[in-house]
Structure 1
Amino acid sequence: MTSFESDRRGAWRAALACMVTLAVAMGLGRFAFTPMLPIMLHEGKLDLQAGGLLASLNYLGYFVGAVTCASLRVKATTMVRSGLIATAALLIGMGLLHGFSIWGVLRTAAGVMSAWVFVFASGWGARRLAETNSPMLGGVIFTGPGVGIATTGLLGGVVGRWGSDAAWIGFGIVALALIAVIWRVFDDGAKAVPASVGMSAAPRSAAATQAARGDAGWLIALYGIAGFGYIITATFLPVIARQALPGSPWPDLFWPLFGLAVIVGALIGARAPTHWDNRLLMAIAYALQAAGVVLSVVWPTIVGFALGSLLLGLPFTVITLFAVREARRLRGNSAAGLIGYATASYGVGQILGPLFAAPLAQRTGSFGVPLLVAAAALGLGSVMFAWVWSKSRASGRMAAV
């Protein structure tokens, strides 16, 4: 086998392993709750407000995990392996243990694990792909959440027939099976990646440094809007669809459709040339998600929910991909801190979404107002990213004169 073939095989192995990792940590560990919520509501184990609080506790855990990543001094492979095992255990615990308090602890811990695994696995994968000159495979990594979401959506309706306890345990067993497949890829004995591999920040003038700081501030602030804008639909989609389409078999299919759209969007987004401006790309992605959220309100039919799920899912991980690219453009290989702050901002948005939506929906009997507020937030984020991009272009033209 030639060196090129070996590198190519290693790149695919790393990308697929990271894809499965994110499928377990994000798709199962975080988002299995979405298809499980209507089942637990039907069983009387939760009401809508309690379900929203559990969701927010999970997102609070994600926030805590994001802000603590920079302080962890653990090998990436060790963190990924331990986080994956913990995720599987927490899923099984949801089925074996009962009571709102213990569920709150489990969902919070699952959020922490998902953030740690996401940051360390995506960072490890990005360096492996850089080492093998295969950055375009980054899209494969970011299909992971979509794979996990589609899996939970398709399996949730099946295993849910035996009750939520069996479904949670089943998800944990699926997670363990997937972990076993990729376990050896995250081997501490793998070839080390030099710190110099990847993108390095070019020397900057004082004015350029000030502009980069301003861009970093906008990235942190506006990335949080994405967390708030998508999370209401992502948390309550099956519940919303069941309210609008009572007795229809379709509501349980919109969540896996969302996951499939995430996969397609990640593969397409990764092919966007690196010289395209990340801020403009994020403005477009935000606008697509805003349109998807609005569709579920103004067109609450099978077609409307299907199109809305597609428009919400296509840019889901693409937004993260472009945000990471933007952070690396601004900070090079020292981007971890900026990515952590941006992820924390995103986490705050996710925490606020269910806390805002669930009580209002329970009082009014409709998610219409919370969804329109979420769509307006995404629209604002789109406009602001477009403005920052336009302002940057204008400054660049003035500097060139």
Structure 2
Amino acid sequence: MALSYFAAGWGFVISATFTVAIVEREPALAGQGAFVWALVGLAAMPAVFLWDRVARRWGDIPALLLAFGLQTVSIVLPALSGSLTAAFAGAVGYGATFIGIVSLTLALVGRRAPQNPGKAMARLTLSYGAAQMIAPVVAGAMAQATGSFKGALWLTAVVMVVGMALLATLPKDS
């Protein structure tokens, strides 16, 4: 679970740190970064409530797998296309998933460690935080070396897919 949540932290921080820069680096999108970032916020507003409903209907692990998958697609959209549509879709997908992943994961670990949920959540938070320190350094170095964020976005997608694979090994909801 901790390694899966590390992947979630990696996916979160790359988009949180670089979305505006990625948009602004595209000549056709220059000046749109703030608007794209506002879309992230608008999409995030109802996310916790929506993901809670998904989890209640399909279960925690399937909901998390869906959220991870949608966030992964959102991460690679700007790597696939420099269009405004890709930037908007990526922003909405990211906004709609990142806080849902956090809330679903913490709720899941709280239910699975009822004797001491705070301790389990602290371990997960440490894992998520470690990713938030490591990922921007790696992505920034990659972008500086290549002049593009595309490689960093693809690496982030791979990290997210590995996180999904690890998540899929967890016992299903009881």
Same-fold call, TM > 0.5?
Answer: yes
Pair 1:276–1:372, CA change in 2 (3 A): same
The number of residues matched between the two structures is: 174
Cα distance, 1:256 vs. partner?
A: 1.0
Match of 1:382 in 2: 164
Structure whose CA Rg is larger: 1
2:7 counterpart (211, 225, 241): 225
Q: 2 CA distance for matches of 1:248 and 1:355?
A: 24
Match of 1:268 in 2: 50
Q: 1 CA distance for matches of 2:44 and 2:67?
A: 12
Matches within 5 A, 1:70-219: 219=1
- Asked if 1:254 is matched to 2:36, the reply is yes
- Asked if 1:290 is matched to 2:64, the reply is no
Cα distance, 1:264 vs. partner?
A: 2.4
Greater relative contact order (Cα 8 A, min sep 6): structure 1 or 2? Answer: 2
1:329 counterpart (106, 111, 119): 111
Match of 2:92 in 1: 310
Contact 1:284 1:382 in 2 (8 A): no
Match of 1:364 in 2: 146
Q: 1 CA distance for matches of 2:128 and 2:33?
A: 27
Q: 2 CA distance for matches of 1:275 and 1:243?
A: 41
Structure 1, unmatched stretches of 5+, are 1-218, 397-401
1:373 counterpart (127, 151, 155): 155
Contact 1:289 1:312 in 2 (8 A): yes
Equivalent position amino acid for 1:268 in 2: L
Cα distance, 1:280 vs. partner?
A: 1.9
- TM-score using structure 2 length: 0.91
Q: 2 CA distance for matches of 1:357 and 1:339?
A: 27
Q: 2 CA distance for matches of 1:352 and 1:273?
A: 30
Q: 2 CA distance for matches of 1:273 and 1:374?
A: 25
Structure 2, unmatched stretches of 5+, are none
1:255-299 C-alpha deviation (Å, 9 max, x unpaired): 110111111222212334547432221111111110001101001
Match of 1:240 in 2: 22
Match of 2:82 in 1: 300
Equivalent position amino acid for 2:75 in 1: V
1:351 counterpart (133, 143, 146): 133
